[in-house]
Amino acid sequence: MHFSIPETEVCSGENGSTYVAYNIHVNGVLHCRVRYSQLLSLHEQIKKEYGSNVVPAFPPKKIFTLTPAEVEQRREQLEKYMQAVRQDPLLGSSEMFNSFLRKAQQETQQIPTEDVALDICLSNGQKITVNILTSDQTEDVLDAVATNLDLPEDLIGYFSLFLIRESVDGGVTFVRKLQEFELPYVSISSLQSSDFHIVLRKSYWDTAYDGDVMDNRVGLSLLYAQTVSDIERGWILVNKDQHRQLKSLQEKGSKKEFIHLGQTLKYYGYIKFDPCITDFPEKGCQVIVSAGNNELNFHVKLPNEQMKEGSFKVTRMRCWRVTSSQVPLANGTTNTCSSSKCEVKLELAFEYLMSKDRLQWVTITSQQAIMMSICLQSMVDELMVKKSGGSIKKMLRKRHNGSIYRADGQQAVKSPPLLDSPNTNREQIVKLSTKLSSMSLLGISASNSANDISGNDFHGNYAFEGIGDDDL
């Protein structure tokens, strides 16, 4: 997740005095507004719990009122502090840090703790309503959804809650997976738009784990609903013959056979992102990126209108980074940015082993760059657990966004390092189950795979040491 403090505000206190508030953004969206004293208190608690040698440097107190220049300097220092804490595998996943962010989020949005009803969408478009507290964190809401659906506890970790945005044409944009440091009700309420929804979706990539889910009636229905939905929206490609087979299996009510056939189709289990821009194979190319099967798949439109498709395997990525910058809006009148004239530009860049001795950076410019990064990280997590012989069930239940831990608390895998950006202007940056039976393939569009240009793929041919294919 990308933490930043892009701006400050002068706020009024209860006694009429004023103070400087620091706006903490997550993925470019305001999460909470806090005072310096609140962050200082958090720092002291972390230092007491984990030791002075673990916590990053914190900007010192000032005796006199800060000048505008000093406020800006403190803003930059606090941003680096928050990023350093979040990136630390121990501190970033600590309950102390996460509870601070949850409390600050609730206070910022001024939503009192009370009983509320929250709608959660299923992949088939159905909604379930769970009764929760406004202060319930993501895991609490997920547990409530599982109870409502009668999903067994040992399968809860196979699913996650995702924030999505639905467009007028029915398209779906995955904004992010809801995190342990946020309150789902507050997050969705603060957006103040009916376009946003929370959806339940599987949270793993390896299709081998589908078997665990399908052994349960509710798990089978959830996975079946997601498979149908992905086919309907065109995320999974089907030709005419496959379409007929799927329709036949659906009419027979053969959910398992339907999913087994789905597993053989191109892009099964992938998440598809909105059209964006890449510098590969040429600068300024339009691209549709999909994540799945331990890879990022590119469907690129070259400047000469030629279409090209290829994949980048996560096992050949040495590292990746997410960077953000503020850029003037297209209709802006000046080159300088203010909160009203600028937007956040996000980029995901990864260093890829193109051939045995050639590494190359590939950059994707997309507002979903952080979601892409989270997908990459979760793929690496699964591969590392599989390599070490660990339990996928424990990993899925205990996973924290930046890293995962074994039962004894030993760190299992670290996030890829965030490298310094070459651009100094950018800031651094992973009981209603019966409703699931009424599925239809009416929206499926037949495909003859004419757009499958697999002959033009451009992924590397060698594995990078450390996480190579031969090590998995």
Q: Which domains does the chain have, with CATH numbers?
A: 3-109 (3.30.1520.10), 113-203 (3.10.20.90), 208-267 (1.20.80.60), 271-328+343-390 (2.30.29.30)
Query: pLDDT tens-digit profile of 8-63?
Result: 999 887 777 888 999 999 877 889 999 999 999 999 999 999 988 888 999 998 88
- Sign (positive/negative) of CA torsion 252, 253, 257, 258? positive
The most distant pair of C-alpha atoms in the chain lies apart, rounded to whole Å, by 76
Query: pLDDT tens-digit profile of 246-269?
Result: 999 999 999 999 999 999 999 999
pLDDT reported for residue 192: 87
pLDDT reported for residue 125: 87
Which of 436, 441, 434 lies closest to 224, judged by CA?
A: 436
- Distance separating alpha carbons of residues 247 and 251, to the nearest angstrom: 6
* pLDDT < 50: residue spans in the chain: 332-334, 336, 338-340, 399-472
Kindly report the number of other CB atoms within 10 A of residue 347's CB atom.
22
Amino acid at 67: T
- Distance separating alpha carbons of residues 208 and 222, to the nearest angstrom: 16
pLDDT reported for residue 438: 34
- Distance separating alpha carbons of residues 352 and 360, to the nearest angstrom: 5
pLDDT reported for residue 223: 97
Amino acid at 58: F
pLDDT reported for residue 342: 63
- Distance separating alpha carbons of residues 19 and 9, to the nearest angstrom: 8
User: What is the C-alpha radius of gyration for the chain, rounded to an integer number of angstroms?
Assistant: 23
The Cα angle at residue 273 between residues 379 and 211, in degrees rounded to 5:
45
pTM value is 0.80
C-beta separation of 272 from 296 below 8 A: no
Q: Where are the beta strands (DSSP E) in 279-377?
A: 285-292, 295-301, 307-313, 317-328, 342-355, 358-365
- Sign (positive/negative) of CA torsion 154, 172, 311, 399? negative
